[in-house]
Amino acid sequence: MKIQDHLTGRTNNFTLMRFFASLAVLYGHSYDLSQGKPGSDPVTQNLIYPIWGDSLPGIAVALFFVTSGFLVCASYIQRANLVAFVEARLLRIFPGLIVAVLFCIIVGVFVTTDSPSNYFLSPSTWGFFKHNATLIMGIQYDLPGVYLSNPFPASVNGSLWTLPIEITMYFWVAVLGSLFLLQDDKVFNLFFILLCLMYAQTENNSFFIVHEPSQIKLALLFMLGAFFYINRSKIALKFMTLGVLFVLAILTKEYHFSLYIKAICIAYFVLLLALHPKLQLRSIDRWGDISYGLYIYAFPVQQTIAHLIPKVQPMTMFILSTVITVILALLSWHLVEKPALKLKGKIKFGKHFDDIRA
């Protein structure tokens, strides 16, 4: 069966996978932020890094970008309308983000070493809001006097670093869709191959106007998610294929082109987990899609715990931060994100994307 055959209705594991990916980031960061040592969690140290050369949070973020590329590309193609697509993306990202940024600023006033008046009058405080709530001109990680003595000092919400890359990829989906490159699989495949060849040949190794290695990997994973959706009528999901890709990725991990092999393997793995009928689990959609809320609230919650409980043990931080962050994520979904998404289509822009959640 091809990927296309698994896309009927809403039977998939996307919401559940994103939930567990968010918890994986939270687990990995519990060690990083309590000890001040990135990549120090046991799963990363003993399993993922020796075999794959990455961290547990890194694999989880890769899952997010493959899923996003697949679903966002589907969203554009099935809506067939640029304005409706932009509306949907803005409503999905920014209402929850703006409230989360305000949450960071409010929490910051209780833990800052500055006086409340200096804190609120500081250009850095309003710069934090301007940069992070709009995602314009990059992310600002610090607030004045906040978390300066933590094991991982000064950074208030380090997880936000991926959002500008996500927005960049939304922009390119809109551009490619407007140029009708998403609607024809042969045209898109040629474009994607040329893009990869150009990346391999450029001196600065830029890929879709991103330059840092971590950004390039995420952009490639997003585009692979789009590639799998556009070629959904041709690609089958088989465990044997995944095994071959995994072995190939391990055998070639020392080569420069391993980025491509590993990215293809991860993308195939993510979509097999999400869509293969033998792996379907009970849906958690009735509880809401709280993965975004988990992702944008976990880091400041964990930094606050590190501030309030010096030398907190990683598993203690994990348990405490999971409970608090799940509550905040549920509130974010039901009070902010879900009401915002209900605004989609108030102006009729074209077909709506109702088969799978984007």
pLDDT in tens, 158-188: 999 999 999 999 999 999 999 999 999 999 9
Residue range 104-131: average pLDDT?
96
**CA-derived radius of gyration, the chain:** 20
Highest mean pLDDT among 156-165, 202-211, 271-280: 156-165
The contacts of residue 326 (CB under 8 Å, 6+ apart) are 290, 294
Q: Go through 235-268 and write b for each residue having 16 or more CB atoms within 10 A of its CB, e for each that does not.
A: bebeeeebeebbeebeeeeeeeebbbbbbbbbbb
Whole-number pLDDT of residue 349: 46
- Do 344 and 276 touch, CB atoms closer than 8 A? no
- Do 61 and 25 touch, CB atoms closer than 8 A? yes
Nearest to 78 by CA among 210, 223, 230: 230
**Higher-confidence position of 357 and 59:** 59
Residues of the chain with pLDDT > 70, as a percent, come to 92
Q: How far apart are the first and last CA of the chain?
A: 23
């290695």: which residue's tokens?
Answer: 213
Give the pTM: 0.92
Q: What is the mean pLDDT of the chain?
A: 91
